[in-house]
Structure formats: C-alpha cells, structure tokens
Amino acid sequence: MTDLLTLGETMAAFRTTGPLRLGGTAGISVAGSESTVAIGLARLGHRAAWVGVTGADEPGELVRRTLRAEGVDLTWSRVDPTAPTGLILFESRVADINRVTYHRTGSAGSRLRSADVTPAFDPSRPPPRLLHITGITCALGAEPYQAVVAAVRLARTAGSTVCLDVNHRHRLWSVAEAGAALRPLLPSVDLVVASDDELAVLTDAADPVADLLAAGVTEVVVKHGADGATSHSADGTVHRPARTVPVVDTVGAGDAFVAGLLSAWLDGADAPARLDRAVTTGAFAVATRGDWEGLPDRAELTLLDHGPGGTVR
C-alpha cells in the first residue's frame, strides 16, 4: 500500500550565490512543493509516490534520478519528449532574502493530466492512505487542475484521506482565481493546511476556520511562520511554537512542515504530536539550505533537542 500519493511539477533548481546578472557560480538541484513532501515522508520511513511529468532532457533526468535516490515511487510518473522540464532560479539577493524566478511556461510538468492519476487508484490494489494536493498544481493550467480534480474524486471514492495545502503563489494566479478553483474541492477535503493569509483563498467568512470546519473539513492547520502553528478540529484547538534554530534558508519550510504533519498522521499520532513533528521538520528546513536537502530521517528527529553547538556522540 502507498502511504502518500501526491502530484505536481518538479523542476531543475539553480541557486546562485549573488545576483544572477553578475554571473558567478550556481548550485544545481531540484525543487517542487509536492516532491519535497514526498521526499520528507520517504526519509521518515513512509511509502511515498509522486505523479508528475518531466521532459526527455538532462534536467528531467536530474529530477527523476533525485527522487528515485530519495526513495520516492515514480511508478505513475512519465516523460514527455515534446516539452522541456521546467526551471526555477533562486538568487541570494540581500542577506537571507531570496528572489525566485520561474521558467515553467509550456513545461512538461504543465502537461500533467487526469489519465496520469487514474492508474494509482486501480481497484485491484489498495488505494493510497493519503492524497496530498496543493494549489500550485491547480494553478499550472486547465489539464493539471483537472488532474487534481480527478485525483480528489478517485481518493474520495476509494476512502483515502485528502490533504489540501493552499500554497498560494501570487506569480501563478490571483486570490480570486485560486479561490474559484480550490473552493469546489473543499467538500472532499479532510485536512486543510494554510498560512494565516491563505485562509482568505478558501472562504470569505469573518471566522474562516469555523467556516471550513462547518463545511465538513475535519482539521484545519494554520501556519504562523516564526510563531508556530495551530490545529483546529472538533476536538479543540492545539498550538505549538516554532522550534528555535538559526535561520539559513526559509524556502521549502512549509512543505517540510507538511511532511512532518502527515508523517505523524500516518503513525496515528494525536494533534499535539502531529504539530510537534511538523514544527520540527519545518525547523530542519529553515536551518539548512535547499528545499529538501536538510530534511531529517526518523533517527534524526530528536537532534534539535540538543543545545546549540552541541555534539552528538
């Protein structure tokens, strides 16, 4: 059985040490919200699968090789020989502020379609326990959006739990456009993850959390950045502060948070324990460079319990 199924675009990622226009060196890796979550879960010992499309090019080979090396199942992913793998550029511009530029228009990842997700819900095999979707995939175009719609429908029919991370990207679409796409999915969503400002994408209510719970969402987890996170459900409200770590790179922190949250859910943990693991994996992300490179394995989850500058012997 697959523990987690997710779908989206993963791109080749270039990280420069200064402004791109000045030239210089760049590190090359991969980046994608959904695949970061899949990697995070795989490192914690879960069976994670990613559905996506890459080009028949070297960046695509980098994406696929990286995900395979991290233990992510690519059974339902494919290569499109007629479109390039998308690119993302990270510039370290001022202090710890990064500037991000996308080159993903017409990319292979934007050609994700409904037929790509159907085999993952083959009735001859157990369905995935969790389906994780994000607003990013929905923003890539009509076909990727329909792929998400199909995945949610199939997951609901199969009895899988559905997690929606709003993950709003202003460069991809407006709040109104995101709301028009995501709100119709809510009746089939069990778990919503959003930052404080992203709740407005899902509802216009004065009390957005109460409105989402009344609409049938089982749990709403709100990320407060450096102030931690809060879980809201019929069982009550639980808050956990963020872990205190040196901040190196905030890119990927939200996805790392989700990976910890869903890992603990798969382990059957209660809401406080789920948030504890979520803020811990989020802290690993901000204390290291890269979207996913610093994510912990299960044995490393307690590393942050040691004092700053400590040595584990």
Catalytic residue annotation: 255
Tell me the C-alpha distance between 230 and 115, whole Å.
Answer: 36
Q: For residue 63, give every residue at least 6 positions away whose Cβ sits within 8 Å of its Cβ, in sequence order, or none.
A: 10, 11, 12, 30, 32, 35, 54, 85
Tell me the C-alpha distance between 246 and 294, whole Å.
Answer: 13
Q: For residue 287, give every residue at least 6 positions away whose Cβ sits within 8 Å of its Cβ, in sequence order, or none.
A: 245, 246, 247, 248, 294
Q: Which of 187, 172, 183 is nearest to 33 (CA)?
A: 172
Q: For residue 40, give every residue at least 6 positions away whose Cβ sits within 8 Å of its Cβ, in sequence order, or none.
A: 255, 256, 258, 259, 260, 263, 281, 292, 295
Tell me the C-alpha distance between 60 and 66, whole Å.
Answer: 10
